[in-house]
Amino acid sequence: MKNQVKALRSARGWSQAELGAQLGVSRQTINAIEADRYDPSLPLAFRIARLFALRIEEIFEDSEASAP
């Protein structure tokens, strides 16, 4: 699943550890999400969306849905 987490985090000047602390997850979890190695749970995706004041669809893109 493609996402905008790294760009959103960087735009606010937050480190991965700072974002993780705000979301209640580890820096490693943030790193894995940003590297598209881990898809967040639905509750975590909602927390991310609320933190950035965006809709989930504005942050996460289903890469399978865009494939032909």
Q: Rounded distance, CA 19 to CA 22, Å? A: 5
Domains of the chain from N-terminus onward: 2-56 (1.10.260.40)
pLDDT tens, position by position, 1-56: 899 999 999 999 999 999 999 999 999 999 999 999 999 999 999 999 999 999 99
User: What is the model's pLDDT at position 1?
Assistant: 84
Residue 68 CA to residue 50 CA, distance in Å, equals 31
